Structure 1
Amino acid sequence: MIEELEAGAEAGADALGPAALLASIKASRSIENTEAARQLDLAARWADLHPPESIHTAASFAVAGCEHEEPIAGPGTPLVAEFCVTELGAVLGITSVSAKKLIGHALELRHRLPRLWSQVHAGRVPVWRARAVAEVTIHSTPALTREAAAFVDAQVAAVAAKIGPAQLDRLVAETIKRYDLATADPAADPVDGYLHLDPRHVTIHDQDVHFAGTVRLEAEVDLADGLDLHQALAHRAATLKALGSQESLDARRAKALGDLARTQTALDLFQHGHTNSSDEGQDLPVAREVVLHAHVDATLSGDTTIFGPTGRLEEGQRLLLLEQLRSWCGDSHTKVTVKPVIDLNQPKAAPGYAIPDRIREHVALRDRVCVFPWCARPARGCDIDHVTEHDHDADAEGRPQPGPTHTDNLAALCRFHHRLKTHTAWRYRMTAPGIFEWASPHGHRYRRDRDGTTALDPPEAGPDPPRIPSPRR
């Protein structure tokens, strides 16, 4: 039936003329904006259902790791129960961090930017623009008071549909000055002692790795530093060309930027191109100290190891080409460590509660990331959790251990989701090595495996489940 409807829709679209097709696209965008605004309102209502009072019960005391109240928007917005973001994120198919940001933007707009909130729901401003404003007012340094945020709201309301990042930054800077939110420092600004908003930053988008093994970098630096950097890159690019590099100017400038961090690559190229002595350069320190975990399939052919053309890079969970790995390892006296292959099909166990490094490594390689639905935090930075809780008294009392330290009972969970599993009604089980099924407090179910997260049959609408009170000391 669904395929027939889709085929019918496609046939209808094919029958439309240019004007009708443009009108249909415009109507579709209008529906999209309306639903995005509705989703923003529902996110704020979800926060309303989870105030701090929903966490604590009478005569209970906070225990380390338990849920706490958290401000996720600017001053003057209501606090929310920390763990409420997870179920919203799960049903939307986004991470807990993204769900937290969605709720924070909704509360910021509703409580501190009401004019913009009204324009969003009137269809005059798209949600993504309003959220961009909310993101800036939430994270302004110094923090905007409620009065200062109201001033930004009043100024933005008239131009919200077309304001850009630069204009918004200038407006926030003016607001900080108008409301005297920054500490005056005559030395920093001899005119009026105002500390302006500092836009300097260097951002490396290491989670967005290109197929060619490159990442995007953006920066905002002082003018003098920028000119110095430009001169240094031009000089190093020219040096690389003089030393025999056949790469383009852009590629040489990009490599020169890496040289500034390593300080060694240009010298290596000179030595390799102008001397045959194997002893020269042996005393030079290792220039590159970045740690990467690369996994490449290999087969044995007699005494020869044959590597496959592709592999996997743990950092960023990206495809890795063998040629890229060879170029990195052959550059700048890079130190290479080869570890023995771990058979993930061979389960491992240890007595007691502590998790040995060999088992921790096994779990990290198997799970790759935190196994909570949609979470993508690398497993190497996660806690290793006993899926079925370890009973510390079982051995002493002569009872079978329900939660052994065994790879079939261990999973990688980031600290936030580890706390969530321990202190809330979220539950999960391992159905096969590396495959997990989760159940949320409201009955939603998810399967998490090496390919990602799959939402299982949704629950029937029914009464809300009781909240688990905070444990007592």
Structure 2
Amino acid sequence: MIETVAAEARGVADDLSPAEVLSAIRDRKAAEDRAAADQLVLAARWADLHPPESIHTAASFTVPGSQHEEPIAGEGAPLVAEFCVAELGTTLGITSTAAKKLIGHALELRHRLPRLWEQVHAGAVPAWRARAIADTTIHSTPPLTAEAAGFVDAQVAAVAGRVGSAQLDRLVAETIGRYDLATADPAADPEDGYLHVDPRHVTVDTDDVHYAGTLRIEAEVDIADALDLDRALAHHAATQAALGSLLPLDARRAKALGDLARTQTALDLAGAGGDADEPDLPVARAVVIHAHVDASFSGDTTVFGPTGRMENGQRLVLLEQIQSWCADSRTEVTIKPVIDLNTTLTAQTRKVPATIREQVILRDRTCVFPFCSRPARRCDIDHIIPWDDDAHAEGRPQPGPTTTSNLACLCRFHHRLKTHSPWRYEMTTPGVFAWTSPHGHRYRRDHTGTTDLEPLVRGESPAPPGIPRPRRR
């Protein structure tokens, strides 16, 4: 009875025939596609309402490994104010980066891929497929001019967006060659001008720790390098088996990759002969494991619980796994003291000491901005109430002391957002933060996630006193 009432409350009857179920779910999918298309229109409108003051205040993507930044959409699309993406993201319950991508895709489609944009709103191409195409044209290297993007648009629209990633890459590569875009780079080989963005990369997803204590590695390398690596892994896996390893082949290959990362010293083959004159090899692995394990005392002995929690990914980890990670030869193990999160720590300087920083990181775990998931160890430590450099000289109490109750982890973007925009927050209880957006919407953030305290209603809500509305064109 309870299940029936719940189903009917969601507008779904429990007596539908198979044909009616298929018809209903097709209608829901069509409605979902229409809503996604409308969301792109609204994201573009949000961008129109928030032009930047200058190119230096425009939203952009930072290119990993360099100081270079690229716009959120290609040449010919309007720029967008950097900090406006955060409020759109919190409204949608997504990260600021995801909101930036949504706005960029909307502008790319509307201004540089107009045929595809029209097909999305005609229902011929789903929004997710159009966004994937827009993402490729935005981040092409070398960048696509407006004319080149128009060529891609015409080709893709001709097949109603039904292209796979490989086909799209080939199309973009052809476009780069057709419009001689690569020759603009003096370091480029003219004969290789048809090549698309260099696909080589090695990505280690440190934020997603599997329950088994593993991380995913994805790579794309040169053919010769890939074949060499394959042979090296096969050789090391066979060596492990010859030395008595009972692990399955895939596990031995994975372990071999770690051995290669430590310059092959984990097998300690150099010292197998026992040569006293052989120089000591450097430490190959420095293990800094941020794992939290319950412990108790039995007399003078510390007794650890069998399980703990990995800081990255918030996943379960076994004590035996930690012991095995630290057991390989030439491994330097660093043990850091336990910090009591219930103790208030205070310093007399603006600079946050290492002990207080560690305490705040352990308490917050991630950036504390709504829906942000950037690990706390890659964040700044922010004074919630700003430190006043003149307070001591003027004989006034310090309004923003360096104390646990006035500090929080913010990633660099959201730290700048808090400093240079109307976003405001306070710590209501240790580790619990109340945020207020420029349009007065409130969010609660703690270690369990984000709660919208004022779900948005239809229509335009009034701006809080003292907070100007976005400029309109």
Query: TM-score interval w.r.t. the shorter chain?
Result: 0.7 to 0.9
Structure 2 matches for 1:232-247, cutoff 5 A? 232-247=232-247
Q: 1:424 aligns with which of 404, 414, 421?
A: 421
Of 339, 355, 368 in structure 2, the residue corresponding to residue 358 of structure 1 is 355
Q: What is the alpha-carbon distance in structure 2 between the residues aligned to residue 148 and residue 11 of structure 1? A: 47
Q: Which amino acid aligns with 2:93?
A: G
Matches within 5 A, 1:47-86: 47-52=47-52, 55=53, 67-68=57-58, 71-86=71-86
Q: Which residue of 1 aligns with 2:195?
A: 196
Counterpart in the other structure of 2:97: 97
Q: Which amino acid aligns with 1:342?
A: I
Inter-partner Cα distance in structure 2 for 1:51 and 1:102? 16
* Selected match of 1:313 from 310, 320, 327: 310
Distance 1:400-1:12 versus aligned 2 partners, 3 A rule = closer
Which deviates more, 306-315 or 295-304? 306-315
Q: Does 2:446 correspond to 1:449?
A: yes
> Where do residues 301-340 of structure 1 align in structure 2 (5 Å cutoff)?
301-340=298-337
Deviation at residue 391 of structure 1 after TM alignment: 2.4
Give the counterpart of 2:377 among 352, 375, 380: 380
1:390 is displaced (CA, Å) by: 2.1
* Contact kept in structure 1, 2:58 and 2:79, CA below 8 Å: no
**Considering only aligned residues, what root-mean-square deviation do their CA atoms show, in Å?**
3.0
Which shows bigger deviation, 27-36 or 391-400?
Answer: 391-400
Q: CA deviation at 1:98?
A: 0.8
Q: Whole-Å Cα distance in 1 between the matches of residues 187 and 98 of structure 2?
A: 40
Give, as a single letter, the amino acid of the residue that structure 2 aligns with 1:210.
H
Contact 2:290-2:310 within 8 A present in 1 as well: yes
Q: Which residue pairs with 1:368 in the alignment? A: 365
Distance 1:309 1:168, change over 3 A: same
Identify the residue that residue 6 of structure 2 maps to in structure 1.
6
The alpha-carbon distance between structure 1 residues 349 and 156, as it changes in their structure 2 partners (threshold 3 A), is: same
* Separation in 1, partners of 2:243, 2:270: 6
**Alignment partners' CA distance in 2, 1:187 and 1:426:** 44
1:194–1:427 CA distance, 2 compared to 1 (3 A): closer
Aligned to 1:401: 398
What is the Cα deviation at residue 215 of structure 1?
2.3
Alignment of 1:120-159 (within 5 A): 120-159=120-159
Partner of 2:65: none
Contact 2:8 2:14 in 1 (8 A): no
- Cα shift at 1:137: 0.4
1:187 deviation in Å? 11
Instruction: Classify the secondary structure of the residue corresponding to 1:305.
Output: strand
2:436 match:
439
Answer yes or no: is the 8 Å Cα contact 2:74–2:108 preserved in 1. yes
> What amino acid maps onto 1:391 in structure 2?
D
Shift of 1:262: 1.4
SS in 2 for 1:340: coil
Residue 416 of structure 1 deviates from its aligned partner by 1.2
1:389 aligns with 2:389: no
Cα 1:364/1:280, change in 2 over 3 Å: farther
Report SS of the residue matched to 1:453: strand
Q: 1:32 to 1:445 in 2, by over 3 A?
A: same
CA-CA distance at 1:265 after TM superposition: 5.8
TM alignment of 1:243-262, pairs within 5 A: 243-262=243-262
Letter in 1 for 2:461: G
Give 1:22's aligned amino acid: L
Please say if residues 51 and 79 of structure 2, whose CA atoms lie closer than 8 Å, have aligned partners that are also in contact.
Answer: yes
The AA in structure 1 aligned to 2:231 is Q
SS for the counterpart of 1:34 is helix
Match of 2:461 in 1: 462
Residues 287 and 326 of structure 2 are in contact (CA less than 8 Å); yes or no, is this contact kept in structure 1? no
2:166 pairs with 1:166:
yes
- The whole-number CA distance in structure 1 between the counterparts of 2:383 and 2:186 is 57
Aligned residues: 454
Contact 1:386 1:409 in 2 (8 A): yes
Q: Gaps (5+ residues) in structure 2?
A: 61-70
| Cα distance between partner residues in 1 of 2:34 and 2:409 | 39
Range with bigger deviation, 299-308 or 98-107: 299-308
1:297 partner SS: strand
Q: Larger RCO: Structure 1 or Structure 2 (Cα < 8 Å, ≥ 6 residues apart)?
A: 1
Secondary structure of 1:202's aligned partner: strand
Aligned to 1:59: none
Q: Is the counterpart of residue 299 in structure 1 residue 318 in structure 2?
A: no
Cα gap change, 1:285 to 1:244, in 2 (>3 Å): same
Is contact 2:202-2:219 (8 Å) kept? yes
* Structure 1 spans left out of the alignment, 5+ residues: 57-61
Q: 1:408 corresponds to which letter in structure 2?
A: S
Q: Which amino acid aligns with 2:409?
A: A
The normalised TM-score by structure 2 is: 0.88
Cα contact 1:137–1:144 (8 A) shared by 2: yes
Report deviation, 1:381.
2.1
Equivalence for 2:119? 119
1:414 corresponds to which of 411, 414, 419 = 411
Q: Residue 286 of structure 1 aligns to a residue in which SS? A: coil
Shift of residue 304 of structure 1?
2.0
**How far did 1:305 drift?**
1.4
